[in-house]
Structure formats: structure tokens, C-alpha cells
């Protein structure tokens, strides 16, 4: 069966024999008809329920009439900023404009406005005031109530109000959008659609919406008082579960209320299969080919989504607010069917780049109670230690991966979504660890310990450092048992709330003992609706209401980041200043335990040229003999340094076909 894109023009509508659409979907991304893109899922789900949907991608936001290119829809307009929050898409953590946009044809920057969902909503309201506007997607989902906005450094109103929309749908939205569409199709006015789970609506009165509803602090209160904002945020955080979450009401001014219904229930396995079996073209629209295509497709073209949701509970992650903590999975049959279809594509080279989701090794709810009572509102599944009710079991995932490896035409199946190593350790059966090392990585495994200071990790909601050290030992032991020489590449984060200079120095010392300099460092980015962002803005941990140190000064943030990459000569002055300020002048000198010499030099630190590589190696060996407590030091420092350089630099030699595919995907 020939699969075709949804209409993007009047000519496309005529080819289908359509004079009118039921919904016009205005999106901030290029039109990519692939189930890794939210607008594609929502539009295909509506199509499957008999609705006619057309796409207006990246309209000219300086011309209101650009949103009317497909005419007036019968039922209403849908709006999404795209797969990312438009501000994260546009700006770095230092608030500098990015130069590329992977979700735009040719990677061109500037094809969507800042706060895109707000701008598009108001464009539609001016151009077509009589039709309903339903806004959704990640930008709307995380800004559904009053929220701290990092880029303007203030509390902003609910996006429902700012966008002039009638309804806001949060979360993944498949059930919610069909329920709303059916209500509109039956003639119900959009202002009367107040019951849909996973929706937010406006009202001039609050008393009609249940005695059990929670009255949050008013918008005026949270805008004026950081403590009130922290209190409001934590109430919301405790009501993100579809089974136990309550309706919440936020008052604006004298007579305006924004009312959030509880989240939609998780999809069953069959419902997940149905969503991913819809007739996606699985590519960007052909009109973009002349412009260079859409770069974002390369990351997911040959990847398979196996799950949704995450019970990891990282403080800096918005998944709790968007996908929720209850894991939803596709069946083996659905995933294998999709993989088999990939093998028939002309551009498929035999490498599946990923099988996972937010966290790859979560394939079932954390415990047997979650599908009946939901996730615990006041307790995490893995933090500070794995819950006694946790069901840590990788058998289903292992079986799925074996089926995929056995498919004709599959050379290698990578796991790239990220492995939750504390969950892996909680599983006493080491079969998954063995097969992960043996079949599913190529030379290196990227994991996210984020930091080594337990004080910082507590604020992040991550396991203590000793857990990561235990994992490195087990990973090394398993590779030795298999006769393989593979490495761990840790993702690290600087300047997270709770991180003082002394914590950043401790992290630098750990990196010294590992014998290499990370090439990727993430400075904490305060994105909407995360625990960590609440800490950043308020200086309070909303879980306990205790004060939290927050590194906000740009210069201190530069110092903390520089410490992680202390070997880079351009960071010398920042590192020296940081060590002096932290009272750690003992780390300035020529001893092998020192981070930097007393004055800038070319040897002993930094990215040494090839002829100086032996100096770094000898220093690493000295560190290894002096400090035996880190498991990574059990390897030869020379091998560690050379191997990491080989696997992360642009000068890495050509390897096997699987390694090439792995690098291309990175």
C-alpha cells in the first residue's frame, strides 16, 4: 500500500477530493511523518478516527494570514511548537542564539518564533476568531500552569492564557485529542469541554468543579513570592499520576481560573501497538529535499521506540510532568514488525541505532501496584535507594533484543537511549549486562552518573556515587569475562543547584583519576516544570522547603564547567581562580595529583600533542597507584587514555562497519 503524507496545500486537498478539513494543525517543526514526532502521531490518530487533518508547518509568524493557507477548518485549529520547547531549541544555557535548528529543512535557524505556541495561537485567534484552538505538545505541556521561565527570568502565566487557546492538552495526548474531537464533532461547544483527562481549560468560576479539587496559590501569589511558587510546584509534582492525581485550580486576577484535570490514563500495550502501526511515511515531506532535508530524522530514522514514561525521577528531567512515571510498552510483535520493515528500506545498512525510550531498560511498571493505584506521590522508585517493591527484571527486554538480533538483514542492534545503571544493578540476574556488553554497544557505553558529590546527587535525585562505582566494576568485570575491551563514557553536569565550587573540584579530581577529559559537559539548563528548575529559581528544595545553594553567577558557572575540562589550556585561568577560591591551592603544582601547573605550560595538562602523550600516561599511572579506590583505575592508564582518545576524537581510525554506523548516529 502506498503511504502518503497528509495535505500541506490546497492542491493536496483537491487530490484527495477534500474541500474542507476537520482540523488544521499548525506546527513549529518541519513536517516529518514519523512516530518519533508528536504532531505526526496526533494527526495520524485523528485520521484513524475518521477526521480530515492538514498540516501548516512553520508559517510566517509575521503574517497572520499564513495560518489560513488551508482554509477554515470545520472543527478547529491544533497548535504545537514542535518536538522541543521553542526556547530550548533557540538558545543555549548561556542564552546565546543557536546557529542551527535540526527540526527545520536544511538545519536553517529562525523559521519559528520564540514562544512559538503562544505566537501561533494568537495569530489564529486574530485571523479566525470564531474557531476553537487546541494547543498541545511539549511546550504547552510543561507550561500548562503558572511557571518559571528561565529566558525572561520571571513567572509566566499558563500558556493556555498566553496563547489565547480554548483548551490545552498535556502529556502524550492520543486519548485526549480523540475525546475532544468527538465532542466538537457532536456539536458540544469548546467552552463546555471540561471533563477530558489530560486537559486544561479556563473558567470564570471554580465552585462547579468538585469539592476534591486543589486550590493552588494564585498566580499573583506565586509571581510575588518564591516560597509560594515552590509550594505550588510541589503540589503539582505530587499530582502528576493518572490514578491518584487531583484536579487543580489556579486563579488569575479577580475572576479567571485555569483548571487542570488529572492526567490521562496510560495506554495499554494494544493501544501502543495501534498508535505505532498507523500508516506513517516515516520520512520528512519530499518538498524539503531540495533544501537539504530535515537533520533530526537522522537521529531516529533507524531507531525503535519500545517504551514510554520513566520512573527514574531525575530532578532536572521534565518526563514526570509530560509522559509520567508509569511505563507503557509496545509488544514484541509490533516492534519486530517495524524492524523487519526497516530492513527493506534501500538506505538501511543493517544497523538499528536504538531500541528504547526515555530509559531503554525500563520495559514494565516499577511495581505491580502502579497499574492499580498509580505511582507513589511521596516516594521515588529508585531514589535514594531502590524501593523494596521494585521489580528489577530485564527478561522481557533481553527476549526482545534477541528477537531483533535474529532478524534477517540485521547486523547490529545498538542501545542508545540511556541505561539506568542503578536499576540494572538491582537485577540479580546479570544476563542483560552480559548481552549489553556482548551485542549492543560498539567500544563504549555512555551512561549518566552526572556528578560524584553525593550532596549534589541528592538534589538531582540520582543514586550516590558509590552506586556508579559499583557499576563500573561490574561493567569492567563483565567485559574481561567476555574478552572485550570496552569503555564507559560518563555524562557529567556542572552548576546544578546544590553544587558549590568544592563539589566541582571533587568532580575534577575524579576526572583526573580517570585519566581523560570529557568532551561533552552539560551546564545545568533550567527548563520549565522540573524540580531542579524550581530549586534554581527559588533557592529552595520544594520537597523539604530547605535552602539550596544555587550557582547563578555566570563567572562561577564558567569556573565549574572549566574544572570538568581542566586539561584544556584555554580553561587555565578559570581553573586556577576556582582552585584558589575553593582553598585548593594544593592542586596547583607539578605533582601528578595536581590539576594544573603554577603557570600555563604545554605538558602535564591539556590536550597534549602526540609526542607528549607519554607524559599524560605516566601521570595517569601515578594517579592509579596513589588512589586505588576508583574502579576505572584498575585499567592501565595508558590504555584508558589512548582508548578514550580513539573513541571520542575526530582522528579516530576507521573501524568495523558497525562502529562507523555508531559514529554516524552520534
As a three-state string, the secondary structure of 575-615 is HHHHHHHCCCHHHECCCCCCCECCCCCCCCCCCCCHHHHHH
Q: Output the pLDDT for position 233.
A: 98
Distance CA 643, CA 254 (A): 64
437 labelled binding-site residue: no
The count of residues in the chain is: 666
**Tell me: the pLDDT tens digits for 253-297?**
998 999 999 999 999 999 999 999 999 999 999 999 999 999 999
* pLDDT exceeds 60 at position 2: no
Section 565-572 average pLDDT: 94
CB distance 248 to 213 below 8 Å: yes
**Predicted TM-score (pTM) of this structure:** 0.88
Architecture of domain 10-197: 3-Layer(aba) Sandwich (3.40)
Beta strands 248-252 and 354-356, pairing class: unpaired
CB distance 302 to 36 below 8 Å: no
CB distance 579 to 585 below 8 Å: yes
Distance CA 532, CA 525 (A): 9
Distance CA 110, CA 99 (A): 9
Q: Output the pLDDT for position 418.
A: 87
Q: Output the pLDDT for position 520.
A: 75
CB distance 293 to 32 below 8 Å: no
Between the alpha carbon of residue 130 and those of residues 74, 133, 300, 588, the distances in Å are 11, 9, 38, 69
User: 397 in helix, strand or coil?
Assistant: helix
Q: Output the pLDDT for position 602.
A: 61
**Upper half-sphere CA count for residue 413 (Cβ side, 13 Å):** 27
CB distance 9 to 69 below 8 Å: yes
Does the domain made of 302-442 have the CATH classification 3.30.750.210?
yes
Computed on alpha carbons and rounded to an integer, the radius of gyration of the chain in Å comes to 26
* pLDDT exceeds 90 at position 651: no
Section 446-466 average pLDDT: 96
CB distance 431 to 481 below 8 Å: no
Beta strands 303-305 and 354-356, pairing class: parallel
310 labelled binding-site residue: yes
Q: Output the pLDDT for position 517.
A: 80
- Average pLDDT over the chain, rounded to an integer: 90
Q: Look up residue 24 and give its three cell numbers.
A: 488544521
**Tell me: the pLDDT tens digits for 596-648?**
999 887 644 544 333 333 333 333 333 333 333 333 333 333 333 333 333 33
Q: Look up residue 516 and give its three cell numbers.
A: 581523560
Distance CA 580, CA 505 (A): 11
Per the listing, cell 575553593 goes with 582
* Structural domain boundaries in the chain: 10-197, 302-442, 485-666
Q: Look up residue 663 and give its three cell numbers.
A: 559514529
Determine what percent of the chain is predicted with pLDDT higher than 90: 84
Q: Where are the alpha helices (DSSP H) in 406-500?
A: 421-426, 431-439, 454-460, 465-482
Q: Categorize the per-residue pLDDT at 518 as very low, low, confident or very high, splitting at 50, 70 and 90.
A: confident
* pLDDT exceeds 60 at position 194: yes
Is the preceding peptide bond at 475 cis, omega within 30 degrees of 0?
no
* pLDDT exceeds 70 at position 1: no
* pLDDT exceeds 70 at position 25: yes
Q: Measured at the alpha carbon of residue 442, what is the angle toward residues 439 and 445, in degrees to the nearest 5?
A: 95
314 labelled binding-site residue: yes
Per the model's pLDDT, the better-predicted residue between 417 and 173 turns out to be 173
Q: Output the pLDDT for position 75.
A: 98
As beta bridge partners, residue 489 has 446
Q: Where are the alpha helices (DSSP H) in 539-584?
A: 554-564, 572-581
Section 334-359 average pLDDT: 96
Distance CA 161, CA 468 (A): 44
Q: Look up residue 561 and give its three cell numbers.
A: 564547567
Element (H, E) at 167: strand 167-169
Distance CA 102, CA 414 (A): 22
Query: Is 50 exposed, middle or buried (CB count within 10 Å of its CB: 0-12, 13-18, 19+)?
Result: exposed
**Tell me: the pLDDT tens digits for 364-378?**
999 998 988 899 988
Per the listing, cell 511548537 goes with 81
Section 408-436 average pLDDT: 96
Q: Look up residue 630 and give its three cell numbers.
A: 576508583
Amino acid at each position: 500500500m502506498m503511504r502518503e503524507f497528509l495535505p500541506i496545500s490546497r492542491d493536496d486537498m483537491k487530490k484527495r477530493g477534500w474541500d474542507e478539513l476537520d482540523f488544521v494543525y499548525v506546527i513549529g517543526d518541519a513536517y516529518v511523518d514519523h512516530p518519533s514526532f508528536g504532531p505526526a502521531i496526533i494527526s495520524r490518530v485523528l485520521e484513524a478516527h475518521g477526521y480530515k487533518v492538514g498540516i501548516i508547518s512553520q508559517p510566517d509568524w509575521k503574517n497572520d494570514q499564513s495560518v489560513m493557507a488551508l482554509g477554515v477548518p470545520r472543527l478547529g485549529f491544533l497548535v504545537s511548537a514542535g518536538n522541543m520547547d521553542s526556547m530550548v531549541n533557540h538558545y543555549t544555557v548561556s542564552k546565546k542564539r543557536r546557529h542551527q535548528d535540526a527540526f527545520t529543512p536544511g538545519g536553517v535557524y529562525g523559521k519559528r518564533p520564540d514562544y512559538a505556541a503562544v505566537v501561533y495561537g494568537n495569530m489564529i485567534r486574530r485571523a479566525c476568531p470564531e474557531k476553537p484552538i487546541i494547543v498541545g505538545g511539549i511546550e504547552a505541556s510543561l507550561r500548562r500552569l503558572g511557571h518559571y521561565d528561565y529566558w525572561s527570568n520571571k513567572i509566566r502565566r499558563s500558556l493556555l492564557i498566553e496563547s489565547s487557546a480554548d483548551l490545552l492538552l498535556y502529556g502524550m495526548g492520543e486519548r485526549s485529542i480523540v475525546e475532544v474531537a468527538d465532542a466538537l464533532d457532536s456539536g458540544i461547544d469548546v467552552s463546555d469541554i471540561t471533563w477530558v483527562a489530560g486537559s486544561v481549560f479556563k473558567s470564570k468560576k471554580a465552585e462547579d468543579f468538585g469539592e476534591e479539587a486543589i486550590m493552588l496559590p494564585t498566580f499573583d501569589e506565586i509571581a510575588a513570592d518564591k516560597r509560594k511558587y515552590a509550594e505550588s510546584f510541589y503540589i503539582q509534582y505530587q499530582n502528576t499520576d493518572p490514578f491518584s492525581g487531583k484536579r487543580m485550580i489556579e486563579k488569575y486576577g479577580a475572576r479567571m481560573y485555569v483548571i487542570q484535570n488529572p492526567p490521562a490514563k496510560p495506554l495499554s500495550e494494544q493501544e501502543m501497538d495501534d498508535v505505532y502501526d498507523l500508516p506513517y511515511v516515516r520520512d520528512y515531506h519530499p518538498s524539503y529535499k531540495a533544501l537539504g532535508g530535515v537533520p533530526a530524522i537522522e537521529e531516529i530514522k533507524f531507531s525503535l521506540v519500545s517504551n514510554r514514561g520513566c520512573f527514574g525521577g531525575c530532578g532536572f528531567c521534565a518526563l514526570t510532568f509530560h509522559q509520567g512515571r508509569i511505563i507503557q510498552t509496545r509488544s514484541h510483535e509490533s516492534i519486530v514488525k517495524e524492524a523487519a520493515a526497516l530492513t527493506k528500506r534501500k538506505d538501511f545498512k543493517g544497523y538499528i541505532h536504538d531500541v528504547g525510550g526515555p530509559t531503554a531498560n525500563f520495559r514494565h511498571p516499577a511495581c505491580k501496584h502502579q497499574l492499580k493505584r498509580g505511582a507513589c506521590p511521596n516516594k521515588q522508585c529508585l531514589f535514594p535507594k531502590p524501593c523494596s517493591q521494585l521489580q528489577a527484571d530485564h527478561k522481557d527486554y533481553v527476549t526482545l533484543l534477541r528477537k531483533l538480533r535474529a532478524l534477517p538483514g540485521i547486523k547490529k542492534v545498538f542501545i542508545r537511549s540511556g541505561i539506568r545503571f542503578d536499576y540494572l544493578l538491582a537485577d540479580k540476574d546479570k544476563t542483560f549486562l552480559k548481552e549489553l556488553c556482548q551485542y549492543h554497544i560498539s567500544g563504549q557505553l555512555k551512561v549518566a552518573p552526572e556528578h560524584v558529590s553525593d550532596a549534589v546527587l541528592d538534589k538531582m535525585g540520582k543514586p550516590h556515587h558509590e552506586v556508579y562505582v559499583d557499576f563500573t566494576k561490574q561493567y569492567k568485570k563483565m567485559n574481561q569475562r567476555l574478552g572485550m575491551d570496552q569503555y564507559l563514557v560518563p555524562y557529567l553536569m556542572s552548576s546544578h543547584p546544590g553544587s558549590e565550587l568544592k563539589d566541582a573540584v571533587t568532580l575534577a579530581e575524579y576526572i583526573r583519576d580517570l585519566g581523560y577529559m570529557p568532551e561533552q559537559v552539560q551546564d545545568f539548563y533550567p527548563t520549565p516544570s522540573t524540580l531542579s528548575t524550581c530549586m534554581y529559581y527559588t533557592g529552595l528544595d520544594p520537597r523539604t522547603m530547605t535552602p539550596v545553594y544555587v550557582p547563578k553567577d555566570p563567572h562561577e558557572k564558567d569556573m565549574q564547567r572549566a574544572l570538568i575540562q581542566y586539561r584544556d589550556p584555554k580553561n587555565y585561568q578559570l581553573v586556577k581562580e576556582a582552585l584558589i577560591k575553593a582553598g585548593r591551592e594544593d592542586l596547583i603544582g607539578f605533582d601528578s595529583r595536581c590539576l594544573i601547573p603554577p603557570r600555563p605550560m604545554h605538558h602535564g595538562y591539556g590536550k597534549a600533542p602526540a609526542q607528549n602523550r607519554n607524559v599524560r600516561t605516566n601521570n595517569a599511572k601515578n594517579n592509579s597507584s596513589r588512589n586505588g579506590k576508583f574502579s576505572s583505575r584498575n585499567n592501565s592508564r595508558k590504555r584508558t587514555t589512548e582508548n578514550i582518545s580513539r573513541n571520542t576524537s575526530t582522528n579516530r581510525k576507521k573501524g568495523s562497519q558497525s562502529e562507523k554506523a555508531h559514529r554516524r548516529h552520534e
